[in-house]
A and B are shown apart, each in its own frame.
Chain A
């Protein structure tokens, strides 16, 4: 057992810090919270710079231009990015999930087409899974792909597609065979969002933010080469990358920058003189350290060459609830000031506290709800019988 980083890893961490101070000065950032999911932190230029440093696709094979690092190295870079509140949104999903999915199931042609551009920070690919009628029950997606002689024709609708408005491609899960049990008739496609018949429409959340989108497919013709992996094998491919989706530090660090800034605020304003405040903030700090270790464990499992199925569900199930507690507690500590929105007179911390509170219900809904994570953990992890 060892909780230490190697000297190379410490050096890497230092390099990321230096890079951030130079390339993403704090005053230039539109937001510093939920940066991996918030459209305000969609920044193509920044993605290119990170790509140039070799920090996208760090664990991917060298032949595609990435590589040379293990999953602990990768999580260190991500930790620094999130800690700083860097504008990582444009490349985050590729690095976490889409790239690994293509590596696992994609054709040589797909790898050639997408991986080098992902690594360079040039493209964004959003996740097309959820639909109006397929939330937690993902396997019941209804968007259809019908195979023709020279193409597939895709029709249907996706929902809660984060970042679709800015993305170049969408990684789709659709039904290719409606006449078999629902898990066995799904396939995955990568679809260019500029194709005729694709419409992206933003969905405003209750903060008035346009992070989510609905994406409509009206008889969109896609080439056969857009199919990822095997036809009707989609469900079994998805399960693999869901583990990657759940596994990262964003599951406990989405509001880390804010929480640290809040701690500084408490120091400056003397709020810590109140033992109740001190106690509650210390308690959250302990909870964060627990969550962080759980995420690092996931990265370690990956370096061991294992799939972090249980560990990832566990880390997410814990971290997401912790982050909600942060949002709830710090608004509470600020009392009446906790409700003040950005640009309001008297607003503390530029309104980020209220903003984060409004975002926080999403933590336990996105990437598989809190209930789904616990069911995965109970059935696959603890071996309890399925209901």
Chain B
């Protein structure tokens, strides 16, 4: 057993932290919440220049051949700074799906572009039921002389408004087990028939309604085979879930640091509030939550890296982190006092993101069902 990062990961962590502290200050995060695109192209190109968008991809696709733990480390740093933009959508949701499911030609076409940051991907999975199950997919794909017509509405699709390509999970055949009838299509973001509407979300994080109205997609844009899409989604979701947890760990850690710094400085009753046990114990509770988040996340990340079967560990991570991160932000605001509820204060950014990430990719209840199933309770 070894709970430490290796030398490369330590380097990645330090350099990512330095870079993001300099290039992604909180005023940029705030600015981007009302920006039409929702990210800074300048920052995006610099990140691409550092090789981040290619981190999990093999060298032959222009990537850095990093492993899943490396990606976890980087995402933790991104979560710390509330990095705005489509990194998660493009590299994790889109990129990892293609890496697992796409054929060689498709990989050669898309992954180098994703690695360079020139192509932004996203995944259109959830619909009106807002569930991450094959059963809940009702968007249809119907064959019509060598092409497929996609029809229906996807909801909560991140960054679809700026995506060059959307990977759409659609029902391609009626089956008893819906897992056996899902196909993945690569769809151009600006295809005729696609309407994309930004939803007004708490965290201002660019989630969209994407309406497919008889959108035509050629057969060669099928990823992973006809009716074969769902197992790939499941594989990718495990990684995406842990990747999301990593972001959350980073955010929670930063929140604790902010609140501890403040508690040392802020004086009431002629002493720093951090000397009061009430505040100390809130901070200790936060530290405990975060340490738990970190190891339950890294354990799952390590298992994914090793290719071990880890449905239970992944679900445990998200079930736990989904509870803990919002709790940490709530306690932090309590320590800060009313100032933290103001628009100009950074705490709100974390508070909102914590709530948004609680339910994205499955909330606690969803993942506890998996835990129960894997533990043989069901």
Contacts and interface: CB of A to CB of B under 8 A. Distances in A.
Interface of A: 1-5, 72, 263, 266-267, 272, 278-279, 281-283, 285-287, 289-291, 293-294, 296-297, 299-301, 314, 317-318, 371, 373-375, 377-379, 381-387
A283 B284 contact: no
Interface string B1-36: 111111001000000000000000000000000000
Contact of A371 (B277, B295, B316, B368): B277
A297 B211 CA distance: 48
Contacts of A378: 274, 280-281, 283-284, 287
A324 B319 CA distance: 20
Interface stretch (B39-47, B79-87, B298-306): B298-306
B2 A279 contact: no
A272 B372 contact: yes
B295 A294 contact: yes
Shortest Cβ-Cβ A-B pairs, 9 listed = A378-B280, A374-B284, A384-B274, A293-B295, A290-B292, A282-B372, A377-B284, A2-B2, A385-B275
B375 interface: yes
Contacts of B303: 3
Contact of A384 (B280, B285, B295): B280
A267 B377 contact: yes
Grouping DSSP codes into helix (H, G, I), strand (E, B) and loop, the B interface class, with mixed when no group exceeds half, is: helix
Contacts of A278: 368-369, 372, 377-378
Contacts of A266: 377
Contact of A314 (B260, B287, B364, B369): B287
B368 A286 contact: yes
B371 interface: yes
A384 B1 contact: no
Interface residues of B, number: 49
Given A314-B287, A375-B284, A2 B372 contact: no
Given A375-B281, A381-B284, 5 more contacts: A286-B316, A290-B295, A373-B284, A382-B283, A387-B280
B372 A314 contact: no
A128 B365 CA distance: 46
Given A263-B375, A272-B377, A278-B377, A387 B276 contact: yes
Contact of B4 (A1, A283, A293): A1
Contacts of B369: 278-279, 282
A287 B320 contact: yes
Interface of B: 1-6, 9, 69, 256, 260, 263-264, 271-272, 274-277, 279-281, 283-285, 287-288, 291-292, 295-296, 298-299, 302-303, 306, 313, 316, 319-320, 364-365, 368-369, 371-372, 375-378
Contacts of B291: 294, 297, 314, 318
B1 A382 contact: no
Contacts of B277: 371, 375, 387
B378 A385 contact: no
24 contacts: A1-B302, A2-B1, A3-B302, A5-B1, A279-B372, A283-B319, A286-B316, A293-B292, A293-B295, A294-B291, A296-B3, A300-B2, A300-B3, A314-B284, A318-B292, A371-B281, A375-B280, A378-B281, A382-B280, A382-B287, A383-B264, A384-B279, A385-B264, A386-B275
Contacts of B275: 384-387
Contacts of B272: 385
Contacts of B306: 4
Nearest to B256: A382
A5 B260 CA distance: 36
Given A314-B287, A378-B280, A1 B2 contact: yes
A148 B117 CA distance: 80
Given A3-B299, A5-B1, A385-B275, A279 B368 contact: yes
Nearest to A71: B1
Contact of B1 (A4, A285, A314, A318): A4
Nearest to B364: A283
Contacts of B295: 290, 293-294, 297
Given A2-B302, A286-B320, A314 B377 contact: no
A296 B2 CA distance: 10
A384 B377 contact: no
Contacts of B6: 1
A282 B320 contact: no
A281 B264 contact: no
A386 B378 CA distance: 49
B299 to A, nearest CB: 5
A44 to B, nearest CB: 33
Contacts of A290: 292, 295-296, 316, 320
A54 B94 CA distance: 53
A272 B378 contact: yes
A318 B320 CA distance: 13
Contacts of B1: 2-5, 72, 296, 299-300
Nearest to A286: B316
A300 B9 CA distance: 19
A375 B375 CA distance: 36
B319 A286 contact: yes
Contacts of B3: 1, 296-297, 300-301
A287 B364 CA distance: 12
